Amino acid sequence: MQYIALIYGDPDLTPKHGTPEAEEMMKGYFMANEVYKRDGVFIAGEPLQGVETATSLRIRSGKTETMDGPFAETKERLGGFYIFDCDDLDAALRYAALIPGAKYGTVEVRPILQLG
């Protein structure tokens, strides 16, 4: 079964790019990536550009509306994701626990609905 791990973080708590703390965090991501690939659970994973680059879309009364930025106003923002292929949720949670962003925010793990 495939699971998505959505990585949310508060920009005020996440180490800033170019700092020793950020370099250490990135080492953690590289190490996690190696484990995922070694164990054969890695399907995809990418960081996202900042929320200031987001455009939200919705359709109301047949009309498409777009808005700059993310729809929800929260401190934690979606910063990236991984997709794992695991036997069960417990395994997916073990792999998600390797994501360094969990130290500064939240990692939401959900099964991917297979439609066919």
Q: Indicate the number of domains in the chain.
A: 1
Q: Locate tokens 């130290």: which residue?
A: 103
Note the pLDDT tens digit of each residue in 50-107.
888 888 888 899 999 888 876 666 677 899 999 999 999 999 999 999 999 999 899 9
CB proximity list for 37: less than 8 A, separation 6 or greater: none
The predicted pLDDT at position 52 comes to 84
Q: What secondary structure letter does DSSP report for 13?
A: T
Name the pTM for this structure.
0.86
Report yes or no on 44 lying in a domain. yes
Residue positions counted in the chain? 116
Give dist(CA 112, CA 56) in Å, integer: 22
Question: What is the CATH number for 28?
Answer: 3.30.70.1060
Report yes or no on 116 lying in a domain. no
For residue 10, which of 61, 70, 78, 63 has the smallest C-alpha distance? 78
Report yes or no on 21 lying in a domain. yes
- DSSP letter for each residue of 17-31: TTSHHHHHHHHHHHH
Give dist(CA 105, CA 22) in Å, integer: 14
- What range does the domain containing 28 cover? 2-111
